[in-house]
Amino acid sequence: MDEVKKINESIVRIKNDLLKVLLSAGYITGILMMIVGFVMLLSELGMFYKINEINGWEKQKGIGKIVETYIETKSESDGFSGLIWSNSYRMLLYRVRVAFTYTYNGKEYTSYKFSYHEPWYDNPTIPQYESHVLKPGTIVDVWVNPADPDDAYIANKSYTQYDPIAIDIAIILAGAYIVYNSTK
């Protein structure tokens, strides 16, 4: 029981020492954190803006033809390391990839962009379904950018990964907290 108490006291001491170090750096640490968080947030919000912009394009009915479809996979490791234990594992991720041709204003184009936001799935069911529906030779509707007809998509998947935005906001707020407390 004494060992657990000592470990807990050590963890509290380390947390307090880390807070003191961060606060002693004051403005520099806080401002750097706020800048990094803001840049990351702008990147994520750019994704929302582009998806909304694509929704404004007129969907061209039946102008696309699927040339090739396949499921792309990648392996990713994930895990954590703590003071007492660590855990790590690998996971396989999936997404559908599509090549299609389309004719817009009398000119033929080729695109390899299924959707602007192409999320990776840890379950192959959705990509398998999409690849089954989008077989070569299938006629599809296409969202075409009227300002740049080379920019076209078969789907406009919604953006549902809100964790990065929450983390970016937390980084900005932590930076603001450090700046605020370093002025006291």
Lowest mean pLDDT among 15-29, 40-54, 116-130, 150-164: 15-29
Whether the pLDDT of residue 13 is over 90: the answer is: no
Q: Which of 174, 151, 169 is nearest to 60 (CA)?
A: 151
Section 70-82 average pLDDT: 81
In the predicted model, what is the mean pLDDT of residues 26-37?
86
> What per-residue confidence (pLDDT) applies to 170?
93
Task: Please determine, for residue 41, whether its predicted confidence score (pLDDT) is greater than 80.
Answer: yes
Domain positions in the chain are 2-182
- Residue 25 pLDDT level (bands cut at 50, 70, 90): low
* Residue 123 in this model has a pLDDT that exceeds 80: yes
Instruction: Mark residue 110 as left, alpha or beta (left: phi above 0; alpha: psi -120 to 50; beta: remaining).
Output: beta
User: For the segment 86-97, what is each residue's pLDDT rounded down to a tens digit?
Assistant: 677 778 899 999
Q: Starting at the edge strand that comes first in sequence, how are the strands of the sheet with 86-104 ordered? A: 107-111, 86-104, 59-81, 139-144, 152-153
Confidence at 24, pLDDT banded by 50, 70, 90: low
* H, E, C per residue of the chain: CHHHHHHHHHHHHHHHHHHHHHHHHCHHHHHHHHHHHHHHHHHHHHHHHHHHHHHHCCEEEEEEEEEEEEEEEEEEEEEEECCCCEEEEEEEEEEEEEEEEEEECCEEEEECCCCCCCCCECCCHHHHHHHHHCCCCCEEEEEECCCCCCCEECCCCCCCCCHHHHHHHHHHHHHHHHHHHHCC
- Mean pLDDT score of the chain, rounded to an integer? 84
Residue 159 pLDDT > 80, yes or no?
Answer: no
